[in-house]
Amino acid sequence: MLPVIALVGRPNVGKSTLFNRLTRSRDALVADLPGLTRDRKYGEGRLGNCDYIVIDTGGISGDEDGIDQRMAEQSLQAIDEANIVLFLVDGRAGLNPADEMIANHLRRQEKECWLVVNKTDGIDPDVAMADFYALGIGQPVPIAASHGRNVTMLMDEVLAPFIVEEDEEAEGEQEHDDSIRIAIVGRPNVGKSTLVNRMLGEDRVVVYDQAGTTRDSIYIPYERDGQDYTLIDTAGVRRRKNIKEAVEKFSIVKTLQAIKDANVVVSVIDAREGVTEQDLSMLGFVIDSGRALVVTLNKWDGMTAEDREHVKTQVERRLEFAGFARFHFISALHGTGVGNLYDSINEAYDCAMAKWSTNQLTKLLEDVVADHQPPAVNNRRIKLRYAHQGGSNPPIIVVHGNQTNALPGSYKRYLENRFIKYLKIKGTPIRFEFRTSD
């Protein structure tokens, strides 16, 4: 499961600086879901083959009225959502009463907690750390977030329990059998719970009474037309017992983890509200994660023809970047269009998991290149020699040749479009990697 790391500490100790450093390490993806999280920022980082989520918080100042009170609450929620807490203190300012207050809180939590002494650039780390042993959080780790000093070493240690060896990873994937894992994701109130209930039908559910805290998503295995599915229920539909719980059920961490753990994501957008920034951020995260995708515009019932037209135009304009996916206009409430979702889910899954031989891909590459040659660079033509498959869900096509580093973006898009067309890929992003032999 994707580890979640919360950064907590007083304001100004360097949390945002560390956040930026941790999330920049991965191709500039920051899964920030604005609006929902004005005071908490979510980002994704990567160390080796280990992805993780980082939550940045405004900080706990010890002076908890007004705005500080809100920031403190956000920090406490972030701690609650995380597996690991990095408690930052300022090595130049020394120990502060607010640090002690935070330490008291953390000691009461059963969370793995690291005491990180920041801003140790240009000063003696041992001296900087000396004050902080008194917090009773264990051995302090000195870093300099703004210079990057010791940050990778810290993350190596913090993430060690989550690093999966390559062959273990391969085994893990086989264990996943041939059940299609579907995550239903979307903002609060778009109709996820209603859709989950519709998709399952009341009688098909085999097991859903799983143990787990409200923080975990529920995994619901079921069968439909001879195919096994596992629905990852982020909305907590099958556990909700009262109205109050419904208010708190939405969690970004749960959503991001479900996306990572799914084969196919069903994104739910409220057609009456239109496509919002948060919908776009979530879809961006799905695509960056390489997941197969089906997009639904829900609450299509009872809308005027004019409103429908308006939504369709908006979808075309704003969701062009998700154009590889199938779009469904549905009513989860009445069940209209819900049955058809399965065709798109199955199709997206089959494309995401498809296997092609090196022969087949190389033949295709030759045809595509014959139609339209790559340009010459430094008076030498770029040569693309053969292609093989480097992975699935998302499919990865590895193209070998020479000078591939010089291949223009326009040619890469040409290749991609042709491959998508001839391999009949629908519903999944596809990635190309280029290897050069000179």
Which chain residues interact with ligand GDP by CB under 6 A?
9, 11-17, 59, 118-119, 121, 144-147, 186, 188-194, 235, 298-299, 301, 331-333
Q: Which of 47/237 has CB closer to ligand GDP?
A: 237
Q: Considering the complex, what minimum distance in angstroms separates the CB of residue 424 from ligand GDP?
A: 31
The partner residues of 181 in beta bridges, in order of sequence, read 230
Q: Which of 43/374 has CB closer to ligand GDP?
A: 43
Q: Considering the complex, what minimum distance in angstroms separates the CB of residue 113 from ligand GDP?
A: 17
Q: Considering the complex, what minimum distance in angstroms separates the CB of residue 42 from ligand GDP?
A: 15
**119 among the known binding-site residues?**
yes
- Collapsing DSSP states into helix, strand and coil, what is residue 210? coil
**3 among the known binding-site residues?**
no
**15 among the known binding-site residues?**
yes
The partner residues of 52 in beta bridges, in order of sequence, read 45
Amino acid at site 363: K
**189 among the known binding-site residues?**
yes
Q: Considering the complex, what minimum distance in angstroms separates the CB of residue 433 from ligand GDP?
A: 35
CA gap 102, 74 in Å, rounded:
13
E strands present in 108-241:
112-118, 141-142, 180-185, 218-224, 227-233
Q: Which of 270/347 has CB closer to ligand GDP?
A: 270
**198 among the known binding-site residues?**
no
Secondary element (H or E) of residue 397: strand 396-402
**93 among the known binding-site residues?**
no
- Collapsing DSSP states into helix, strand and coil, what is residue 167? helix
The partner residues of 44 in beta bridges, in order of sequence, read 53
Q: Considering the complex, what minimum distance in angstroms separates the CB of residue 22 from ligand GDP?
A: 12
**120 among the known binding-site residues?**
yes
E strands present in 149-225:
180-185, 218-224
DSSP one-letter code for 62 = S
Helix, strand, coil percent values for the chain (each to nearest 5): 40, 25, 35
Q: Which of 7/365 has CB closer to ligand GDP?
A: 7
Q: Which of 88/407 has CB closer to ligand GDP?
A: 88
What crossing angle do the helices spanning 97-108 and 67-81 adopt, rounded to 10°?
Answer: 40
Task: Return the number of other C-beta atoms located less than 10 Å from residue 161's C-beta.
Answer: 10
Q: Considering the complex, what minimum distance in angstroms separates the CB of residue 385 from ligand GDP?
A: 47
Task: Locate 274 and state its tokens.
Answer: 């239109």
User: Distance between terminal CA atoms of the chain?
Assistant: 39
**236 among the known binding-site residues?**
yes
Q: Which of 125/191 has CB closer to ligand GDP?
A: 191
Q: With left for phi above 0 and alpha for psi between -120 and 50, is residue 93 left, alpha or beta?
A: alpha
Q: Considering the complex, what minimum distance in angstroms separates the CB of residue 370 from ligand GDP?
A: 49
Q: Which of 15/291 has CB closer to ligand GDP?
A: 15
**186 among the known binding-site residues?**
yes
Would you list which residues are annotated within the binding site?
Answer: 9-16, 56-60, 118-121, 186-193, 233-237, 298-301
Would you list which residues are annotated within the binding site for GTP?
Answer: 9-16, 56-60, 118-121, 186-193, 233-237, 298-301
